[in-house]
Amino acid sequence: MNINAKKSSPKVSVIITAYNHEKYIFESISSVLNQSFQDFEIIVINDGSNDKTASVINDIVSEYPEKILFINNDKNIRPKFSCNQGISAARGKFIAWNDGDDLWLPEKLEKQMKIFDMDHNNETHIVYSLGENIIENSKRIRNKFEGKLVEKNFFKEMFSSSFFLKNSMIVRKEVYENLGFLNEKYQLCGDYEYMIRMAASGYKFKLVNEVLALHRIHENNETTNRSIAINNTKIMLMDVSKNYPNLIKKYKINVNDRLSVCDYQIARFFFAKKSYSKAKQICLEILKNNLGFLIRNKTFFYFFILCFLPEIIHHPLKNIRLLENIYKST
């Protein structure tokens, strides 16, 4: 592992993790360097990429040697390990995140830091924003995890869905000092688990109600690990329900329904891949374990029926308004 380090103490530490992001890392780092708010350091962790990611980063570091700390892992140590490396190296009072294939809009830090600056009692711990997806051809589309304003019961809302992007948030470093690092057991959903952990611990979230962060969708990050990631999320949610039974009871959270949503998402993943028998099998398991979910979730009811229809009629069904959103989201 090679590290180049700087000594100044910035207000914000921006952590960027990268693995085989040769195509995107320059744009990702540039979107941070071009912020209107400039009191920050960038900590870039290359997690053992086998493409030219490290070379691209080195070129940028040579231009901004006082701004960027580069940690170059010789081998891949997995996403959450590298995230924790970044937290350990951070010297700012606030920590912000951006993945090596994602982007920020130019006023992200400025608008979010204003929220912290106006909080003279230091009661705000996390500031997040809306986000959008950006696909390969750079066309922006509204992100289904775009963020929403939550005035109360943040734990309940967060357990129900991860509704904002990791790269949209800034967190006081003291939160990590108090709660510890990301749980490396959840390599594909550790950020989501940490959001729930922060909410369970009573930390206060605030929203900047505009799009400031972009999540890039491309073949490597969208399809390769999707079903595995959802399974990892399901395991994490089961652990959370055991770790915080009083909050589950307080907010009357239906844990079985939340776990069924995970299974449903996996079924839709296989449906999109035209693995209809696998999707059908998962749907039957949902029914076996949680029959009420079929009644309470209208979208799943329609999807369940689709899984048992002959493949030949799926194409014309895509044009029916009632069903088009089901096909679109798969």
Residues 159 and 60 both lie in one domain: yes
Whole-prediction pTM = 0.88
**What's the pLDDT at 133?**
84
Query: How confident is the model over 178-225, as pLDDT tens digits?
Result: 999 999 899 889 999 999 999 999 999 999 999 999 988 876 665 456
Instruction: Tell me what the pLDDT averaged over the chain comes to.
Output: 87
- pLDDT top residue among 272 and 52: 52
Using 50, 70 and 90 to split pLDDT, how confident is the model at 322? very low
The residue from 206, 222, 238 where one domain ends is: 222
Query: How confident is the model over 73-88, as pLDDT tens digits?
Result: 998 877 788 999 999 9
Residues 19 and 138 both lie in one domain: yes
Look up the domain containing 66 and give its range: 2-222
Cα separations in angstroms, 44 against 21, 26, 35, 132, 195: 12, 11, 16, 23, 22
Split into its structural domains, the chain has a count of: 2
Residues 192 and 295 both lie in one domain: no
Establish if 42 belongs to a structural domain. yes
Establish if 276 belongs to a structural domain. yes
**Tokens 């949209």 belong to residue:** 168
Distance in angstroms (rounded) separating the CA atoms of residues 156 and 117: 28
Establish if 65 belongs to a structural domain. yes
Cα separations in angstroms, 49 against 68, 72, 231, 320: 19, 9, 25, 44
Residues 263 and 131 both lie in one domain: no
Establish if 280 belongs to a structural domain. yes
Distance in angstroms (rounded) separating the CA atoms of residues 214 and 167: 8
Residues 33 and 167 both lie in one domain: yes
The residue from 181, 201, 222 where one domain ends is: 222
Residues 194 and 322 both lie in one domain: no
Residues 57 and 205 both lie in one domain: yes
Query: How confident is the model over 19-61, as pLDDT tens digits?
Result: 999 999 999 999 999 999 999 999 999 999 999 999 999 999 9
Beta-carbon neighbour count of residue 222 at 10 Å? 14
Residues 125 and 29 both lie in one domain: yes
Collapse the DSSP code of 218 into the 3-class scheme (helix H, G, I; strand E, B; otherwise coil) and give the result: coil
The residue from 198, 222, 246 where one domain ends is: 222
Number of H helices, E strands in the chain: 16, 10
Residues 201 and 263 both lie in one domain: no
Cα separations in angstroms, 74 against 14, 54, 293: 22, 10, 47
Q: What is the DSSP string of 92-134?
A: SSEEEEEETT-EE-TTHHHHHHHHHHH-TT----EEEEEEEEE
Establish if 243 belongs to a structural domain. no
3 state SS for 40-65:
EEEEEEEECCCCCHHHHHHHHHHHCC
Using 50, 70 and 90 to split pLDDT, how confident is the model at 272? confident
**What's the pLDDT at 79?**
74
Establish if 184 belongs to a structural domain. yes
**What's the pLDDT at 164?**
81
Residues 192 and 297 both lie in one domain: no
Residues 214 and 259 both lie in one domain: no
| Cβ-proximal residues to 32 (8 Å cutoff; 6+ apart), any chain | 14, 16, 40, 42, 98, 104
Distance in angstroms (rounded) separating the CA atoms of residues 240 and 246: 11
Establish if 241 belongs to a structural domain. no
> Which CATH number covers residue 99?
3.90.550.10
Q: Is the pLDDT of residue 323 over 80?
A: no
Residues 308 and 209 both lie in one domain: no
Query: How confident is the model over 216-271, as pLDDT tens digits?
Result: 887 666 545 678 889 999 999 999 999 999 999 999 999 999 999 999 999 988 88
Task: Label residues 114-139 b or e (16+ Cβ within 10 Å = b).
Answer: ebbeeeeeeebbbbbbbbbbbeeeee
Q: What is the dihedral of CA 68, 71, 76, 82, to 10 degrees?
A: -80
The pLDDT of 12-23, averaged and rounded, is: 95
Establish if 235 belongs to a structural domain. no
